[in-house]
Amino acid sequence: MLSAQERAQIAQVWDLIAGHEAQFGAELLLRLFTVYPSTKVYFPHLSACQDSTQLLSHGQRMLAAVGAAVQHMDHLRAALSPLADLHALVLRVDPANFPLLIQCFHVVLASHLQDEFTVEMQAAWDKFLTGVAVVLTEKYR
């Protein structure tokens, strides 16, 4: 799915994110709720305040899952199977929301990393996150 260069770019960006997962994740969720208010229905318990402990905690969990996917790029299905089961079978999240989340994640990455987030890196991350979304939605079929 990914070339050696794309894998390196994904790892390079992840190294820049590492240590800031909660903040990036909280910002990602806030952006998602702001741009696509219908997505908030899945998170009624989360405050829309960036400093909210619950929002930071969920943002941390979301980006921890992305980090696990980065570490297991060759085995996404196995790495993300429990998460796919949760979203499809328990939470019943509309799979149409995953592309919205990807779009918001790109904006968060670009706003924080600026010139370090090159066009090539953005393309690699788009390809990678699309692969993650495919794995997460396979359980819906």
- Are 58 and 32 contacting, i.e. CB atoms less than 8 angstroms apart? no
pLDDT for 50 beyond 80: no
- Per-residue pLDDT band for 141 (boundaries 50, 70, 90) equals low
- Are 70 and 14 contacting, i.e. CB atoms less than 8 angstroms apart? yes
Tokens (6 digits) for 23: 């903040």
- Per-residue pLDDT band for 46 (boundaries 50, 70, 90) equals confident
